A and B are shown apart, each in its own frame.
Chain A
Amino acid sequence: MADFKFYLTSLEPNLSQSIYSQSIGGYCSNSLLYRETTLSSNVGLYDTSFTLNTPQAESWIGWENVFYININNEIIELSALESGTATAIQRGSNGIINFHLAGDVVRASNAAELFNNVVNNEYKQYRCLAVKNTPIDDPSDSEIANDVQVYLKQNSRNDESNIRIAIERPSSKYLTSISTNRTILTLTDTSLSGVYLDDYFNGTYLMVSGENGVGFISDFDGSSGTFTFSSSFSTVTTNKVYEVFPASAQRLKTGTDAPVNSDYITDFSYTNSVNRLSLSDTTNVSNSSDADVLTNDLFYIWVERTLQKGSASFDNNDFVIVLIYDTSG
């Protein structure tokens, strides 16, 4: 089963992003949009007390001020979260109440600072989130999500705030393989010879298993399968597994700028369950597989918030994004 996770975006690759409002395009950062754990038992439609499993990496650090969590589309307001026992003040704060199973992912709604009060002349601001198909258990497991589509199941409940979304497809996809030759500035993989066009991976980055460095790809030679980097690696060990990460989204100068039109981004749209955005809606689609997202691949969702002039209230600024995909193929 595919497991999509939302990450903040950052200017540089392979970094954490601690400032939510700086999630304005670029690379997929290492920071999830939210803290997450799982349920330890089923939660019925009207249950108001339930337990969460201790998060693997961080224990309960950072959960002290979590008063909203979301599970399966539903936002739940908590009065307390102590040692994994959650007490709900209100189920379905966003009007959606669902039944949850033990093991379902619980996400802390920690996106309080995703937007701020800095808007442009049209009272708009923009943020970019990376949506990655992550392996669930075994990293080698592969699960293709076919025909990925996105829509807003719920727009902001604040009448003075409106959300539209657009999606951006990276210009190159994730790749993992084994190098056959290296220098400090190049890496060659003969298995790629003739597979990709020249320059297909330009602008993205590469990491070699067991090494810390990141190689920005300044040139890719499709005939030889050679990557050329803009700065040197410190080692040249070859016959090693390497990963080429998906291309970045466009990066904004500030969150008040709109992303510019390109072959890889759709127009902004309110969307609904009928009128969805699809990765195939981007204009530079060469075949139907461009709408598929393989394990470790990703795409970007741009979020545009528009405030009414003079808006005084900033509560209830929540929205629900739904991904629809087919795993039969």
Chain B
Amino acid sequence: MWSSDLKFLLKFQTSLIYEEISQTYMAVSGTDSTVSIPSTGSGYVMQNDQYLVGSASGAGYPLNLASAFTLGFWLKSVNPGFVTDEVTGDPESITMPLLNFVGSINPSDVLSDSVIEVTEITNAAEMNQMKISLKDGAYYALTTSYTPDLWHHFWIVYDGSTFSVRIDGEETILSSETGSLPVSLSATTFDVYINHSFTGYAYNVAKNYGYIDELFLYNTANTEDIDVQRVINDNINYIANSNYTTINNDGYSIYFNDPDTITVTSVIDDMTYIYLGVNDGRILRGSPLLWETRRVFSNSDEKNIIDETISDGFLKINNGVIRL
């Protein structure tokens, strides 16, 4: 069920923006038609003079959003700061478009209704907040602030009565909630816009020039922790390939900076050799005559260059070496 409900998927792997479910390409609009996809696989770089629009070759994506959805994506956002209100002179936030799912609420309508709209807003703390609007603004809310210039993962869920947003896996507290959550989204086919403002641009509305990656939309609600975790940690293949739901990917990080303290843990004298067991597993064998000789005439000089303590009757060299 989870995989069959996947309706829209962009991996942003090549400069041809390929939507995996409809198997169609999105169009590049604006004055610059060159798409920037870094070879490092770090998503699509949004630009001032460009936006993406997809319509599944004109038919609209058959997303069939009845009353629920799960929308997820990675975003490395930018913060262009504040501007000054032209009239009052007060500092003011800048709004940047990000995503717009424009659907036909009534199939006979033209594609004109913004069913899900996502924009970013700068704030006074030099952070960004995300504003998500449903059904032409019948409801909207702001997320908590997040730091720009870092990759963040967004997981937005609506189940027909409850709306929630997770940032980096953790549920955010919504603010400025306005309007009522729509009982039904009632939309079947959609055009999808990335980085395009239908209402135009102004001193306080600017193009987005952050990065976006691994964008997906389900037409069901999913708030399962384990799914959120696997999408964040294991990448989009977890939802794009049903095999990943049974393929486990366990990692074990092993950290082993070499020991910088050599401790003598045992001593055996068999009258021919002295054997020292040390904490890194080695056994040192030495001549008792040589060691005795060194012990007799050393000390004042050598002791000054090592940091040693006596522990359980044994010499512990904390920082230094003994040459045998």
Interface positions of A (Cβ within 8 A of B): 1-2, 4, 6, 19-22, 33, 42, 44-47, 68, 70, 72-75, 93-94, 96, 98-101, 107, 109, 111-118, 145, 153-154, 255, 314-328
Contacts and interface: CB of A to CB of B under 8 A. Distances in A.
Contacts of B246: 326-328
Interface in B147-194: 147, 150-153, 167-170
Interface stretch (B11-19, B124-132, B227-235): B227-235
A23 to B, nearest CB: 9
A98 B169 CA distance: 9
A320 B257 CA distance: 14
Contacts of A320: 251-254
29 contacts: A21-B280, A21-B282, A22-B281, A33-B254, A42-B225, A44-B168, A70-B252, A72-B229, A72-B233, A74-B253, A94-B255, A98-B229, A98-B232, A99-B169, A99-B232, A101-B225, A109-B254, A109-B256, A112-B259, A117-B258, A153-B251, A314-B257, A314-B258, A316-B257, A319-B254, A323-B249, A323-B250, A323-B251, A324-B249
Nearest to B225: A101
Question: Mostly helix, strand, loop or mixed at chain A's interface?
Answer: loop
Contacts of A45: 151-153, 168-169, 232
A33 B256 CA distance: 11
B258 A116 contact: yes
A13 B252 CA distance: 24
Contacts of B249: 322-324
Nearest to A114: B256
B226 interface: yes
Contact of B281 (A19, A33, A44, A93): A19
Given A20-B281, A322-B251, A315 B169 contact: no
Question: Mostly helix, strand, loop or mixed at chain B's interface?
Answer: mixed
Contact of B253 (A75, A100, A255): A75
Contacts of A324: 247-250
Contacts of B233: 72-73, 98-99
B232 A2 contact: no
Given A42-B170, A99-B169, A321 B254 contact: yes
